[in-house]
Amino acid sequence: MNHAYLRRLYARRAELEAKLELHDARYCFGEEEVEDGTQIDLRQRIEEISEEIAALEHSPG
């Protein structure tokens, strides 16, 4: 298993989750009147990275 790559995936997922939290907070406080697809895109990217992390964690060797 490539531990450095896995660490980068964890870091990237954390970065995307932070962006999603910021986007959600702005949306909740009315700073963004129209949903532009950012939330959906971020959630999809987080899910893809999470699936890749799970595959790497459960792969032999």
pTM of the model: 0.82
Helices (H), 29-61: 38-57
Total count of domains within the chain: 1
**Above pLDDT 90, what percent of the chain?**
61
19-45: average pLDDT: 82
Please tell me the distance from the alpha carbon of residue 53 to that of residue 59, in angstroms, as a whole number: 10
Which residue matches tokens 């999809």? Answer: 44
Which of 13, 7, 1 lies closest to 48 in space, CA to CA?
A: 13
- Domain around 37: 3-57
Mean pLDDT of 44-48: 97
Look at residue 39 and tell me whether its pLDDT is greater than 60: yes
Residue 59 pLDDT exceeds 60: yes
Contact 50, 10 (CB under 8 A): no
Q: What is the mean pLDDT of the chain?
A: 88
Both tokens of 56, joined, read: 């790497």
